[in-house]
Each structure stands twice: as structure tokens, then as C-alpha cells.
Chain A
Amino acid sequence: MPEGVLCNKNKVNTLEQLQALLADKSGKQYYQEMNNLDVDSKALWDLVQKTCKSRTRTWLEICTHCGLCAESCFYYLSNHRDPTQVPSYKIQSTLGEIVRRKGKVDNAFMQMAMDTAFSKCTCCTRCGVYCPMGIDMGVMFSYLRGLLFSQGFTPWEMKIGTGMHRIYRAQMDVTTEDWVETCSWMAEENADEWPGLEIPVDKENADILYTVNAREPKHYPEDIAQAAILFHVAGENWTVPSEGWEETSLAMFAGDWEACKMQVEGVYGAMAKLKPKRMVVTECGHAYRATVIEGPYWAGRTSGKPPVDSFHYVEWVAEALRSGKLKIDPAKKIKEPVTYQDSCNYIRNAGLWDSARYIMSQIAEDFREMTPSREHNFCCGGGGGLNGIGRYREQRNIGLKVKRDQILATGAKLVVAPCHNCWDAIRDLEEVYEIGIRWSFLKPLLINMIEVPAGMRGEE
């Protein structure tokens, strides 16, 4: 059975494997090897039989092929209504075929399925909201990615991403030491301006356990500093864990179910160890989805909930504004037209639209909804890991057009995007289409807007 050196059915569990993958520029060798990768039909079918039960099978069987899902899909819309972009077609011709053929599919089929799963679907689950039968094709694509992963058919970056999670318990190579060091660095860097600012690590019984996205310590640690400042001003008793601080899950995007479990168990472990009253995660959509919404199931928690009550950052901000812990200086509200990017992962798939609306009502004078919005909003175009996959860059850029037009229609030049993926996609959107917009997380906006109690900010 030909297995590549880089592209194979093995999981990336060692640094050597990871480094070998990283050394393969753009995954050239990886994708070449993929052309010769055998499909183990028996294993694939065994896996399907074990994991594809009545819910998914019924979804596949009773699709009446009415086509109502077509218009719900931003890929369909941005590709000039290409019929091959109809969600039902996409899932039936991939997962549907695997099930119908009892796993007897070949390499070319698997690559086609991989291309479909990663360049024609962000698993935003919008189609599920538009299907009369309640068929959630986004969920099925997520499942398909898992089947593909088990056979080694996953994009190069995804393979690396899962390796990162397996080795570092983070989506990037940020070690525990790096993380803890970054926290003290950020506290120090802002100590002059914010006397008494702390980023407490591993404090037990805190009110809030704060967790982040590895990209923050890796590339923009000021995000952590900003979170610290806002907690500080709000007077929260908070902490970060030294381990289990990373909430994201490229493993979820890749369909590496085993790594999904490993990842969330790390976070739950931190909760068990530090016994916080609750957990708050940074402005990241899929992190919240992975750890709070789906995570409990991977970890086998029968309650369907994480060990402690868990909140997305927008929930905390909304609460802090409501309770007066954070006060907005009315003179500093956003005056220009501003719109809000509803992240699929914590809006449609977690119901937090009201928190987002409340925040906007407090910080903006001219808030403009996108059309459609809330649970009906379109994916930014970068969900499901699509932002980071080189192989499908072009397709993703086409997909951004729907969001571009939605933003343009609001007339707003500022887009509030409290989700790392949305934020990235909108940045890319501006880079590709140059429509003259700016985009921001909530934290930097809030820091410039809040009323700081006297004496809290350093004089110099």
C-alpha cells in the first residue's frame, strides 16, 4: 500500500514529522505523494458504518433535491450560480457517493471530495437553515472531512495544523513557556500606562478563566494585553491557565477527531485544575464552537457542556456594559457608519446575536446591519479553515465577493469583526478587492472608548 513520506494515513505526533512537513514548501511533495495514496476501502467503510448513523444517513436519503439550499450558499452565489455549487449536489456527489459505493472509491474520487470539502464549503451551516427537511450539509461536510482525514486526504496546512495541536496543544508552535512568558511580557509592556495591570497565570478559584487563540501570543500579543486592560478596568478577578490556554481547533476543521478530543481535554483540564467560576474565550468564533459547543461531545461529557459555564467574549462585553463594569464615554462612541460581521460559529451556531446587537447599540451611533444578518448572515468566506489553505486560495477569494457586496451595501467603512477568521477574511477581502474599509476586533475599539476611573491610568 503506497503511503507517502509526508502524505499518508498516519497522524502527526512527533516534532520530526511536523518539521518534515513544514520543510516541504507549499506542500509540493505532499500533494505529489497524495496522487499515489491508496484508499483503504475496507477501513473507510468500517469507519462509515461506525460513525454514519441514522441522522446522517437519513439526511442523505431523504433529500428531495428541491434545490432550496442553492441560494443559501455564498459559494453558489459568488460563482455565478454555478449548479455544481449547490450544497445538495456537493454533498451528494461526495459523502453521498462514499456511502452508496460502500467506501469503494478511488484516489481521484477522494481528491475530488477533498477539493469539494475544502474549497466549496466552509461548514458555515447556512444551508441547513434553508432546507425544508432540516438537512445540515455543513455538518455533513465536517463529517466528510473526518472521513477524508482518516485516509490521509487533507490539505497540507490541515495536516500541519493537526500536528501542531497534537504536539503543542495549540494551532501554532507556541509552548507553555512561550505563552507564560508572553503574558508577563504584555503585563510589563503596559505597566507604565496601566499601573497594577496583571495577567495572573494559574490563579485558582478566579471568577474568569480567560483563554485565547494561539495566533495572539504568536503574532499579536497586544490582543492579550488589551484583554488584560479591559478585565483590569472592569475589576474582574481573572486568570489564564499555563496549560490549556488555547481554545481553537484546526483539528475540527481538518476532521482529526482524535486531536479534537485531545485539544479540548486540555482546556477542560485547566478548568478542573483552576476551578474558575466561568470561562471566557477571546474574540474567536471557531474557538468557542470547538471548545464550548462541540467540545463537550468529543470529550464524552454527557451534560453536553464544558465543566464550567463558558462564554464568548461578546457575551462578557455585553454583560460588562450592561452591569456598568465597563462604561462607554458617550463622546467617544463610533460616529461613522459601522457594521458588524456575524460569525457563523458563535452567532448561527451558538445564538449570541443579541449580545452583539447590545454591544453595537452601546458603542456605535450609526450601526448598520448587513442584509441578511444574525443567524441568516453569510459566512465571511474564510470559515472552516479556508483562510489558511494555499491550494484553494483562488476559490476562497471568489467566495469573498458575497461578503464584499454585503459590506458595500451597508455604506459602512468600518467592520467590527470579533472573530479571528472573519477578521482575517475581511482583511484579505480588502486586500483583494480594495473597497476602502477598515476592520477591527472589539478590544481596541473598547479601550479607546471606555471611561477609565480616576487614577487607574498612569500619568505618563
Chain B
Amino acid sequence: MYEFVTGPLAWLAFIVFFVGIVVKLVLYIRGLDWKLDRVTYSVNTSYGVRGALRSIGFWLMPYGTQSYRNNPGFTLALFVMHIGLILTPIFLLGHNILLAERWGVSLPSLPEGATDVLTVCVIAAALVLLLRRIALPEVRIITTAYDVLLLAIAVAPFVSGLLAHYAHDNGQLWTIVHVLCGEVFLVAIPLTKLSHFVLFFATRAQLGMDYGIKRGGMKSKGIAW
């Protein structure tokens, strides 16, 4: 079972993930229409690129935008969760050991203590975001079961990972659960709105180009996000 989920199933998950996000991105870009979107993507592109980079850059920076600064708590949870979501699986020692075993290559690893902290932080941040969804009326009204499910999908590998690491079950049950959760997560990324994994960059770039090319980017220093 372990071999299967970390073997063919993992391959499948990674293929769906990588192919999926590429397809998503390609479809997005192909679906752009300068006339309908009212942005000349290919004219004055330099202004567009500048706008896109500003748009992405400011929004990747913690507290880099007015919106973030207005909501410090949310922003903290948001960045903690996303940093954890990305760093932990890539730089986790266990993952890299596995990688080295299978392919003989591996990435540098973070100390186990650090990844543990990150994991706990991700779970805590997710909890905060979940509570926020329930507590704030303006968020509750737009929250759907789907949103909660996606949050669960994103956090499940972390919860199961912790259990796998610390539960000491010899039957590898938690490990298998963990791997499955991770694979579900990977597959969910291109297939659900977790696709914002790539589409965040796409939509941000698009709006940045819109502002950069059309909405004043050529007549000002650029919008102060």
C-alpha cells in the first residue's frame, strides 16, 4: 500500500498537478482578449509588465498593500499559512530523505524543529481563517461548504503529517493517510480554486497590466496598491 501511494499514485498526482497548472495557465492566457478585456496586452507591453510586476510584488509582500495593512490579523494568518504551505513540504527532511532514496536527488532541508513549527503554524492559521469565516458576517455570507472543504484539503496533509511523525504507529497508517492527503492536495490545486496557486499570478498580472497600460500607468508612477 505504501509503495503504491508513494509510487504510481504519487506519479499520477504530480503529473496531474504539473500538467494541470500548466494547462490552467495556458488556458487563462489564451482566453485573454484585448478587446473584451479592454487591455492592449501586446501594445505598450513594457508598461504592462511594469504594472504586472508591481501588482504581483506588492501583494506578495506581507503588509505591502493598503488592504493588508487594514487587516493585520488576517494578513498574518494568510502569510503564515501560505509560507508554511509552500516551505514545509519542499524543505521537510522526511520528504527529502524519501526523494534521495527514490531518485538520488534531494533539496536542502530545514531542521525538523523548524518544519514542526511551520506545520503547527499552518494548522493554527487555518483555524484562525476558519473561525474568521464563521465569526465575521461579511465573510460568513460568502463562505460556502466548498471553501471549508478546500481549507480542509490544504490542511489535511499537515495534520496527518504531524500524526504520522509523532503517532508511532507501525502499520504506517498515518503515513499512508498523509501521503494520500498530500496527493489529494496536489490534484486539487489545478482542479479547484486552489488553482490560485498559479492563477493568483495570472489575475494579478492581468489587473496590473490593465492599470499599467490603460488605467493611468502611462501617466503616473503606478497605482499604490
Question: Which residues of A are at the interface with B, using a C-beta cutoff of 8 A?
Answer: 51, 53-55, 57-59, 61-68, 70-72, 76, 81, 83-84, 86, 88-89, 92, 128-136, 293-294, 297, 300, 302-304, 315, 348-354, 372, 374-376
Q: Which residues of the other chain, B, contact A92 by a CB distance below 8 angstroms?
A: 142
Quick check: A304 and B43 within 8 Å, CB to CB? yes
Is B216 touching A51 in the complex (CB atoms < 8 A)? Answer: no
Instruction: Find out whether the CB atom of B67 lies under 8 angstroms from the CB atom of A293.
Output: no
The answer on a CB contact under 8 Å between A129 and B219 is: no
Which B125-152 residues have C-beta < 8 A from chain A?
Answer: 133, 136-144, 147
Contact of B141 among A57, A84, A130, A293 (CB under 8 A): A84
Instruction: Known contacts A62-B193, A375-B223; decide if A83 and B203 are in contact (CB<8 Å).
Output: no
Report the bound CA distance from A274 to B38 in whole Å.
27
The CA-CA distance from A154 to B133 in the complex, in Å, is: 35
Q: Are A130 and B44 in contact (CB under 8 A)?
A: no
With A62-B199, A67-B139 given, is the CB distance from A130 to B216 under 8 Å? no
A133's closest neighbor in chain B, by CB?
A: B203
Question: Chain B, interface size: which category?
Answer: 35 or more
B216 contacts A131, C-beta separation under 8 Å: no
Shortest B48–chain A CB gap in Å is: 10
In the bound complex, CA of A374 to CA of B140 (Å)? 31
Expressed in whole angstroms, the minimum distance between the Cβ of A419 and any Cβ of chain B is 15
| Complex A-B, nearest 7 residue pairs according to Cβ-Cβ distance, in ascending order | A351-B216, A54-B31, A351-B220, A304-B40, A67-B139, A134-B207, A83-B141
B63 at the interface (CB under 8 A from A): no
Are the C-beta atoms of A303 and B43 separated by less than 8 Å?
yes
Complex CA–CA separation, A92 to B147 (angstroms): 14
Query: Which residues of chain A have C-beta atoms less than 8 A from B78's C-beta?
Result: 66, 132
Q: Do residues A304 and B39 form an inter-chain contact, with CB atoms below 8 A?
A: yes
B55 at the interface (CB under 8 A from A): yes
> B105 an interface residue at 8 Å Cβ cutoff?
no
Q: Which residues of A contact B143 (CB under 8 A)?
A: 65
User: Can you offer 18 A-B residue contacts whose CB atoms are under 8 A?
Assistant: A53-B32, A54-B29, A54-B30, A54-B32, A58-B28, A65-B133, A66-B139, A81-B138, A129-B67, A131-B67, A134-B200, A294-B38, A302-B40, A303-B43, A315-B219, A351-B217, A372-B66, A375-B224
Within 8 A of A (CB), among B55-106: 55, 59, 65-68, 70-71, 74, 78
Partner of B196, one of A53, A64, A67, A372: A64
Q: Is the CB of A83 within 8 A of B224?
A: no
A302 to B44 CA separation, bound complex (whole angstroms):
11
Contact check: which of A86, A297, A303 meets B142 at CB < 8 Å? A86
Residues of B with C-beta under 8 A to A375:
223-224
In the assembled complex, B27 has its CB within 8 A of some CB on chain A: yes
- A354 to B, closest residue via Cβ: B220
- Min CB distance A37 to B, Å, is 26
**B214 in contact (CB, < 8 A):** yes
Structural contact, B40 and A351, CB atoms closer than 8 A: no
For B147, the chain A residues whose CB sits under 8 A away are 64-65
Separation of A135 and B67 alpha carbons in the complex (Å): 13
- Using a CB–CB cutoff of 8 Å, the interface residues on chain B facing chain A are 27-40, 43-44, 55, 59, 65-68, 70-71, 74, 78, 133, 136-144, 147, 193, 195-196, 199-200, 202-204, 206-208, 210-211, 213-220, 222-225
User: Is A350 touching B55 in the complex (CB atoms < 8 A)?
Assistant: no
For B144, what are the chain A residues with a Cβ–Cβ distance below 8 Å? 65
Query: A67 to B38, Cβ gap below 8 A?
Result: no
Among A57, A72, A374, which residue has its beta carbon within 8 angstroms of that of B31?
Answer: A57
A303 to B34, CA, bound (A): 10
> Are the C-beta atoms of A352 and B223 separated by less than 8 Å?
no
Task: Specify the chain B residue showing the minimal Cβ separation from A73.
Answer: B138
The residue in chain A whose Cβ has the minimal distance to the Cβ of B200 is A133
Distance in angstroms between the alpha carbons of A353 and B140 in the assembled complex: 36
A86 CB, nearest partner CB in chain B, Å: 5
**Closest partner residue, chain A, to B151 (CB atom):** A64
Provide the residues of chain A in CB contact with B214, threshold 8 Å: 293, 304
Q: Which residues of B contact A128 (CB under 8 A)?
A: 207
Question: Do A300 and B35 touch (CB < 8 A)?
Answer: yes
A136 to B38, CA, bound (A): 13
Cβ–Cβ contact B40 & A129, under 8 A:
no
A64-B40 contact, Cβ under 8 Å, with A129-B223, A304-B214: no
Residues from chain A with Cβ under 8 Å of B39 in the complex:
304
Q: Which residues of A contact B43 (CB under 8 A)?
A: 302-304
CA of A372 to CA of B70, assembled, Å? 12
Do A132 and B67 have beta carbons less than 8 Å apart? yes
| Complex Cα gap A353–B224 (Å) | 11
Residue from A58, A65, A72, A81 within 8 A of B203 (CB atoms):
A58
Q: A89-B141, A302-B40, A350-B215 given as contacts; is B220 within 8 A of A68 (CB)?
A: no
Closest approach, in angstroms, between the C-beta of B201 and any C-beta of chain A? 10
How many Å lie between the Cα of A65 and that of B65 in the bound state? 18
Closest CB in chain A relative to B217 CB, distance in Å:
7
Counting chain A CB atoms within 10 Å of each CB, the highest count among B32, B34, B43, B211 belongs to B211
Q: Are B36 and A304 in contact (CB under 8 A)?
A: no
Q: Which residue of B lies closest to A372 (CB)?
A: B66
B37 touches A53 (CB 8 A): yes
Residue of B whose beta carbon sits closest to that of A125? B215
> Is there an interface contact between B141 and A297, defined as CB atoms closer than 8 Å?
no
- Knowing A83-B140, A86-B142, say if A133 contacts B196 (CB, 8 Å): yes
Q: Which residues from chain A contact B193 at a C-beta distance below 8 Å?
A: 61-64
A134 near B67: Cβ-Cβ < 8 Å: no
B32: which A residues are within 8 A, CB to CB?
53-55
**CB-defined contacts of B67 to chain A, threshold 8 Å:** 68, 72, 129-132
Residues of chain B with a CB closer than 8 A to A68's CB: 67, 71, 74
**A349 closest partner in B (C-beta):** B215
Query: Whose C-beta in chain A lies nearest to the C-beta of B206?
Result: A55
Contacts of B27 in A (CB 8 A): 54
Taking CB as reference atom, which chain A residue is nearest B203?
A: A134
Q: A68-B67, A349-B216, A350-B215 are in contact. List 19 more A-B contacts (CB 8 A).
A: A54-B28, A55-B203, A62-B195, A67-B139, A71-B71, A83-B138, A84-B141, A131-B67, A132-B78, A132-B200, A134-B204, A135-B203, A136-B207, A351-B218, A352-B220, A353-B220, A354-B220, A372-B66, A375-B224
